Amino acid sequence: MNRLPRIVILGAGYGGIVTAIRLQKELNYNEADVTLVNKHDYHYITTNLHMPAAGTDDPKNARINILNIIDEFKIVFVKATVKEIRPHERKIVLDEGVLSYDYLVIGLGGEPETFGIPGMKEYAMHIRSLNSVNLIREHIEYQFAKFKQEPYRREYLTFVVGGAGFTGIEFVAELAERIPKLCKQFDVDPSWTKIYSIEAAPSILPGFDQELVEYARKTLEDNGVEFIVGTPIKECYQDGVVLATGEEIKTTTVVWTGGIRGNSLLEKAGFDVVRGRVQVDPYLRVPGHDNIYVVGDCSIVMNAEGKPYPPTAQIAMQQGISVAHNLVATIRNEGLREFKFESKGTVASLGKRNAIAIVGNRKLKGYKASLLKKLIDIRYLYMIGGIPLVIRKARF
């Protein structure tokens, strides 16, 4: 190959942005042409979106300008929307133009998984992007304003969160902190408000340590959250939800956090997918396509028991590091390294100064776990932007 190898990275989520940052550190200036494609000119910290969604934090704190963290002499940034992936032609169709590649990294992120629940796509909101959380925050505030005009409509003050995994629990925790302030702002009796967390599994935070789950549940119940567990949502409609039990909850606010699936573009590209996600090989490549890597929500990586790891930010970041290493190794005709996920621990926030966490065999709760969450955020900021980004964005 006389020209430089062309690497295209689709998506600037955790996996994509870490891949780009690591490539610009490890590649020399004359080793490859690297292009990063993203539909926005910013990267956002997905694990913190529950706060601006509830209105307890400014959305700009989760937003990082891509051009502030990439080296434009090594990475070309293209702001565009991906329309089609053509693996056999080695081309990417954008909303304006076409890109050719030799090596492709797909980190396009996921889409809400509604499990076929009628009305969930049409009437529920989702915590998936800065635009979506802005909509949720403004919608919640608007419900209080509407209630002042129609005080007999208690459904304006009823909030349903579908799914009690990490995102759902972190969001209801922030919502429980936010609503008393909105009640004071709009002169509304707090006893008129309702927050429901509805989970189909027998417990909130399915699969998490039971002692910490009980702590989280009691903490949130003390803050006014009502849990309905072991009960799926059967239908979502404009004025509420219907549970599998037949119970109906009247509400004008449904936020769905019950699951994600991979990006639909992967299936359209002809890859074998499960719920839109590709089960990658040990090097994170698409089977049958040694030049295409998949990271983040679009990938499936199996653990030692043959079960898929949950698609978390932590695994996406480690995938980005691994993919960058293997791309550099390929260009330099060196051996590839298999991906091995190493869990650094798990943290779920329960508001500004409360959280639960597992680090190794240690269980943390309360302020210590909350502090750990802040340290994880700082570490990530340092990974992608060094000390300058930590100074600009870290919230101590």
Strands across the sheet containing 355-359 = 346-349, 355-359, 362-365
Q: Is 195 exposed, middle or buried (0-12, 13-18, 19+ CB in 10 A)?
A: buried
Residue corresponding to tokens 């621990």? 345
Sign, CA dihedral 188-191-192-193, equals positive
Q: Give the amino acid at 7.
A: I
**From the candidates 26, 31, 155, 170, which is the catalytic residue?**
170
Partners of residue 236 on adjacent β-strands: 241
The DSSP line for 29-96 is TTS-EEEEEESSSEEE-GGGTHHHHHTSS-GGGGEEEGGGTS-TTTEEEEE--EEEEETTTTEEEETT
CA 43 to CA 41: how far, in whole Å? Answer: 7
Name residues whose C-beta falls within 8 Å of residue 221's C-beta, 6 or more positions apart in sequence.
227
Query: Distance between CA atoms of 184 and 377, rounded to whole angstroms?
Result: 31
The tokens for 360 are: 């190794």
Segment (H or E) for 210: helix 210-222
- Residues near 33 by beta carbon (within 8 Å), at least 6 away in sequence: 4, 5, 6, 7, 76
Active site residue 170: yes
Active-site residue set: 170
